[in-house]
Structure 1
Amino acid sequence: MTTIEYLDAVKAAKGLTSDYQLAKLLGFPLSSVSSYRTGRRFFDDEAALTVALALGVNPLVVIAAANAERAKTDEQKARWTGLMEKFSASFNTLLSQWDGRERRAFARG
């Protein structure tokens, strides 16, 4: 996902109707949200973490996606995209093993 897609996902998940509400919820200046939307800026790691927590998703996936978007070369982008896919797959595996009652993420064997 891209920065804009993550912003839209938070708006949808939280039932927000404006970027002003989004900025307030995330604790971002409205000017930052505007810069993200126009492509002048991309999430730094802290902003990516904030968005991930708002969505309840693995923060490392959003951080890797943001780094892929900020990458200066195709090689850097590919490295971050590959890492993002690994984080996403690992997180999904952990979630599938969690029964919702245990405090630990995976079963002992």
Structure 2
Amino acid sequence: MHIDKYLNAAMKKHGIKTDSNLADYLGVAQNTLSQYRHGKRFIDNEMCMKLALSLDMDSPIDIIMAADADRAEMNGQKSLWEVFSRRTATAASVALLTGVVTLFGTPTPAQASPLLKSVGVDFILCQIEEQD
């Protein structure tokens, strides 16, 4: 189950040793938490938010994705979140790679300046007048 990762993280973060104590901390019955862990019941968005807040996460979206993945897995389907997260991860990787190449591949103005002088070309500004 994908949601186990977040339940275990909450236990570790708050020094909780048992599922019963975690259930008390989250405000649910112990059997409800057990059902979350064994896939007999799925965590709702409100509980995802509670869990995210307990882990000091900015957004509950990762936990919601995990809950949806568990739900889809039990129904023998593929979660839309899994497909979406893979696509966004690929797009993010391409954007990061482009940024790194641009950042390190482009010379700074201080590095580019000597290149102009090393070519040996001098520019002279002059005015050419027409003669009648």
TM-score range, shorter chain: 0.5 to 0.7
TM-score when normalising by structure 2: 0.56
**In 2 relative to 1, CA 40–16 (structure 1 residues): closer, same or farther, beyond 3 Å?**
same
Counterpart secondary structure, 2:42: coil
After TM superposition, give the deviation of residue 40 of structure 1 in Å: 1.2
Unaligned segments of structure 2, at least 5 residues: 93-132
Question: Cα deviation per residue 1:14-43 (whole Å; 9 max; x = unaligned)?
Answer: 001111110111111111111112221221
Moved over 6 A (4+): none
- The aligned runs of 1:1-109 (5 Å cut-off) are 2-57=2-57, 58-71=59-72, 72-75=75-78, 77=79, 79-84=80-85, 86=88
Contact 1:48 1:59 in 2 (8 A): yes
Q: Kindly, what percent of the aligned residue pairs are identical?
A: 34
After TM superposition, give the deviation of residue 9 of structure 1 in Å: 0.8
How many residues get paired?
Answer: 87
- Letter of the 1:20 partner, please give it: S
TM-score when normalising by structure 1: 0.66
Contact 2:2 2:69 in 1 (8 A): no
**In 2 relative to 1, CA 68–74 (structure 1 residues): closer, same or farther, beyond 3 Å?**
same
Looking at structure 2, the residues matched to 45 and 8 of structure 1 have their Cα atoms a distance apart, in angstroms, of 18
Looking at structure 2, the residues matched to 10 and 83 of structure 1 have their Cα atoms a distance apart, in angstroms, of 26
**Which region of structure 1 is more displaced relative to structure 2, 56-65 or 12-21?**
56-65
Looking at structure 2, the residues matched to 47 and 13 of structure 1 have their Cα atoms a distance apart, in angstroms, of 17
